[in-house]
Amino acid sequence: MTDASRTDLKKKVEEGQARHADLDRTTIVDRAGESAIEAKDKFVAFAKEHPVATIAGGVALGVLISSLFKRSPTRRAANRAAGKAAGLAALGAELALNYAHQAMDAAQDAGRAGAKQLDRVSHTVSKAGRHAAHRASDASESALEATRDTGQRLRKALRSRLD
């Protein structure tokens, strides 16, 4: 058996032991509660991603349930259940809409912040460019003056040699 498969097997055994120990600590009520919370989170996520499908599904479920019962107190209960399902679907759609609005607001804020930062950077770069241009101009003036002085010294030196 290779070292990799040995470590993989040890890891699987440890995970199984952890699951088994977890089963002893939690009760069936705790696990059912956790499952209900997970189901609610999945439903909210689905409603955020598909608000129209959630509404349509709620209405279809309400119609289906109400069609199963004849006119009776049970039918009225089914109509109430359908209304609650439609309300739940509307709540899911509203959650999805609020989530979309928050995402759009965050994107706009990020865009504004990015524009301000870009403006600051462009101002800094422009300032640095002007500063570099001034330094280059000063350096070229100094170089021109040094060249002029050198030329005058050369001319004097040549005249003194020729005379």
Is the pLDDT assigned to residue 135 strictly greater than 60? yes
Quick check: 46 and 54 in contact, CB under 8 A?
Answer: yes
Alpha-helical runs (H) found in the chain: 3-25, 28-49, 51-67, 73-162
**Tell me, what's the pLDDT at 23?**
62
Tokens of 103: 């995402």
In percent, how much of the chain has pLDDT > 70? 83
Quick check: 99 and 50 in contact, CB under 8 A?
Answer: no
The lowest-confidence range among 23-37, 42-56, 120-134 is 23-37
Is the pLDDT assigned to residue 96 strictly greater than 70? yes
Tokens of 137: 């101009």
Mean pLDDT of the residues in the chain: 76
